[in-house]
C-alpha cells in the first residue's frame, strides 16, 4: 500500500464472511450480474448483499440496498463495479461502513489517463486504512472460501481444485487464461489475485500477505513492472527463505517493455537487471507461460531435494536418452547406483535390463517391475530425485503402473516427477497420477527443467543467504 504495508491484510478479501456487490444487477451482460452469479453458483456460504443505487426489493433473490451504509451489518468485502466517476463516493461509503476490504473491478482510471480520479481512491483508502485491490482488475478467486469476483462467463473457465499454488497477475487476461489452464490441468489453487492498476494494494502487499499465508505453498507471479522495486526485493528476500516464488517477467525485451507500458502503464525494466536481481534472491525464473505451471506444480507437490542426483526409470530407451540429455543440460546429474542397489536390482530385474542409470526396465515393464525399481531406488542414498518415465503405449503399462507411481508419492524423502507422452489412453492415466499429486510432464525436457528449478531453490534455501 505504497509504503504503508501495516494495513494490507487481505484475509477478509480472500476469505470473507459477508460480501456486498456494489453495482449488483439482474441484467445479463452487466459485470455486477456476473459477479453476483459467481457467488451464487460457487455456493458461497456467507452473506451476500447486492447494492444498487436504484435498487428496490431483491436482486437475484437477495435483499438489495441503495447504499452499503443501509445494510446495517458488518461487511468483510465490498466488490465495486459501477461507472468510474461514481467509484470514489462508493469507496467513501465503504470506509464509513467499516468494510474490511474492497475490490474495484471498474476500469477507466490511470490506465486511460484519469490519474486524478485514481488519486481520489488512494486518498480515501488511506483515510480509512482500507485494503483496496484494483481498480481495473479481475480481482480475486479463493477456492476454499469460494470468494470469486471474476466477471468472466463462468462456462468459459474451468473451476480449480483446492491446493497450494497462489497465482498473482497484474494482467487480467494472463490471469484468467492461466487460471483456466491451472484448473484444466487439475492443479491445486490456493489464491488467485489479479490486481490491475495497483493503486492501493500492490505487488509488495500481495507478496507480503502470501508469504505469511499458511494455505500458500508456492507463489506464482506474472509481473510486467514493479512500482516499489526496493520494497519488493526486501519482502521477496524474506519470502524465499520461507517458500518459493516462481516469476514470469513480461516486457523483458525493449519492444516487449514498450507493449507492457501501453498495457498497464507500468515501467518494465531490462531483462538482465531483473534476472540478476531475481536469481540473487532465490526467485525461480520462468521463461514462458508453460514454465510457470511446470515449476508451480513440482513446488506444490514435491519435497525439496538434498542434492542434484537424479534417477531415471523408463520403459522406453529413446525417452531415457532424451531424459539423460535433459538432466545434464539442466545442471543435474545421473549418479552411479550404490553397490547394494545394483545387486538388489540385478536380482529382481530381467537379465536383459542394464543395471545403470537411466534404468531402462523394458518395454514389457508392468506395475510390479516399476514397484520393484521404486522400492530399491528410494532406499539408495546416492539419489535425490526420481524421474519416472511411463509410456502407456507399451503392452505392460496400464492402471497398475499409474497406481504404482501414485503410491510412490509417499516416497517423501525424494522428489518425484513422471513423464508420459501420448494421446487419449495416456491422458486418462496421467489424470490418475495427477489426481494423487504426482506432477506429470509431456516430455523429459519439461520434467528435467522442473527438477532443476526445485534443486536450485533447495540449494538457495540451504545456503542460508
Among 422, 439, 197, 159, which Cα is nearest to 315's? 422
Smallest separation (angstroms) from a copy of itself to the CB of 113: 11
Which residue's CB is nearer to a copy of itself, number 31 or number 125? 31
Which residue's CB is nearer to a copy of itself, number 305 or number 358? 358
Smallest separation (angstroms) from a copy of itself to the CB of 234: 26
| Cell, residue 311 | 534417477
Which residue's CB is nearer to a copy of itself, number 354 or number 381? 354
Asked if 202 and 227 touch (Cβ cutoff 8 Å), the reply is: yes
Asked if 216 and 166 touch (Cβ cutoff 8 Å), the reply is: yes
Which residue's CB is nearer to a copy of itself, number 122 or number 152? 152
Which residue's CB is nearer to a copy of itself, number 29 or number 214? 29
Asked if 17 and 49 touch (Cβ cutoff 8 Å), the reply is: no
Smallest separation (angstroms) from a copy of itself to the CB of 339: 20
| Separation of alpha carbons 291 and 295, rounded Å | 6
Beta pairing partners, 310 = 385
| Separation of alpha carbons 99 and 142, rounded Å | 19
What per-residue string of b and e applies to 10-39 under the rule 16 or more CB within 10 Å gives b? bebbbbbbbbbbbbbbbeeeebbbbbbbbb
| Separation of alpha carbons 436 and 317, rounded Å | 27
Smallest separation (angstroms) from a copy of itself to the CB of 98: 34
Smallest separation (angstroms) from a copy of itself to the CB of 444: 7
| Cell, residue 85 | 466517476
Which residue's CB is nearer to a copy of itself, number 262 or number 463? 262
Smallest separation (angstroms) from a copy of itself to the CB of 292: 9
| Separation of alpha carbons 125 and 182, rounded Å | 33
Amino acid at each position: 500500500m505504497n509504503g504503508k504495508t501495516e494495513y494490507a491484510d487481505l484475509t477478509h478479501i480472500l476469505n470473507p464472511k459477508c460480501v456486498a456487490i456494489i453495482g449488483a444487477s439482474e441484467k445479463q451482460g452487466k459485470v455486477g450480474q456476473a459477479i453476483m452469479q459467481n457467488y451464487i453458483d460457487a455456493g458461497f456460504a456467507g452473506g451476500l448483499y447486492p447494492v444498487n443505487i436504484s435498487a428496490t426489493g431483491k436482486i437475484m433473490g437477495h435483499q438489495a440496498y441503495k447504499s452499503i451504509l443501509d445494510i446495517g451489518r458488518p461487511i468483510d468485502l465490498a466488490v465495486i463495479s459501477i461507472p468510474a466517476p461514481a467509484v470514489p463516493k462508493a469507496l467513501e461509503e465503504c470506509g464509513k461502513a467499516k468494510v474490511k476490504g474492497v475490490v474495484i473491478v471498474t476500469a477507466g482510471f490511470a490506465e486511460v489517463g484519469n490519474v486524478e480520479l485514481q488519486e481520489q481512491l488512494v486518498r480515501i483508502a488511506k483515510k480509512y486504512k482500507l485494503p483496496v485491490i484494483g481498480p481495473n482488475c479481475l480481482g480475486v478467486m479463493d477456492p476454499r472460501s469460494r470468494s470469486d469476483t471474476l466477471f468472466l462467463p463462468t462456462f468459459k473457465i474451468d473451476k480449480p481444485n483446492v491446493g497450494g499454488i497462489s497465482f498473482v497477475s497484474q494482467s487480467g487476461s494472463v490471469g484468467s487464461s492461466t487460471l483456466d489452464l491451472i484448473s484444466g490441468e487439475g492443479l491445486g489453487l490456493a489464491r488467485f489475485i489479479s490486481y490491475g492498476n495497483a493503486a492501493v494494494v500492490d505487488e509488495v502487499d500481495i507478496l507480503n500477505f502470501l508469504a505469511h499465508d499458511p494455505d500458500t505453498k508456492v507463489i506464482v507471479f506474472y509481473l510486467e513492472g514493479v512500482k516499489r522495486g526496493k520494497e519488493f526485493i526486501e519482502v521477496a528476500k524474506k519470502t524465499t527463505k520461507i517458500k518459493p516464488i516462481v516469476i514470469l517477467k513480461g516486457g523483458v525485451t525493449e519492444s516487449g517493455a514498450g507493449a507492457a507500458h501501453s498495457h498497464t502503464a507500468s515501467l518494465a525494466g531490462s531483462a538482465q537487471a531483473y534476472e540478476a536481481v531475481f536469481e540473487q534472491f532465490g526467485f525461480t525464473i520462468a521463461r514462458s507461460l508453460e514454465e510457470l505451471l511446470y515449476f508451480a506444480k513440482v513446488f506444490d507437490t514435491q519435497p525439496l531435494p538434498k542434492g542434484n542426483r537424479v534417477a531415471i526409470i523408463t520403459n522406453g530407451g529413446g525417452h531415457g536418452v532424451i531424459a539423460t540429455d535433459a538432466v545434464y543440460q539442466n545442471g543435474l546429474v545421473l549418479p552411479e547406483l550404490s553397490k547394494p542397489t545394483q545387486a538388489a536390482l540385478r536380482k529382481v530385474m530381467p537379465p536383459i535390463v542394464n543395471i545403470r542409470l537411466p534404468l531402462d526396465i523394458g518395454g514389457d515393464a508392468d506395475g510390479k517391475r516399476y514397484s520393484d525399481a521404486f522400492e530399491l531406488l528410494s532406499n539408495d542414498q546416492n539419489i535425490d530425485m526420481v524421474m519416472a518415465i511411463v509410456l502407456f503405449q507399451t503392452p505392460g503399462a496400464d492402471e497398475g503402473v499409474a497406481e504404482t507411481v501414485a503410491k510412490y508419492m509417499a516416497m517423501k524423502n525424494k522428489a518425484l516427477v513422471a513423464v508420459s507422452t501420448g494421446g487419449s489412453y495416456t491422458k486418462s492415466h496421467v489424470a490418475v497420477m495427477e489426481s494423487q499429486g504426482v506432477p506429470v510432464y509431456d516430455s523429459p525436457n519439461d520434467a528435467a527443467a522442473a527438477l532443476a528449478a526445485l534443486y536450485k531453490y533447495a540449494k538457495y534455501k540451504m545456503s542460508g543467504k
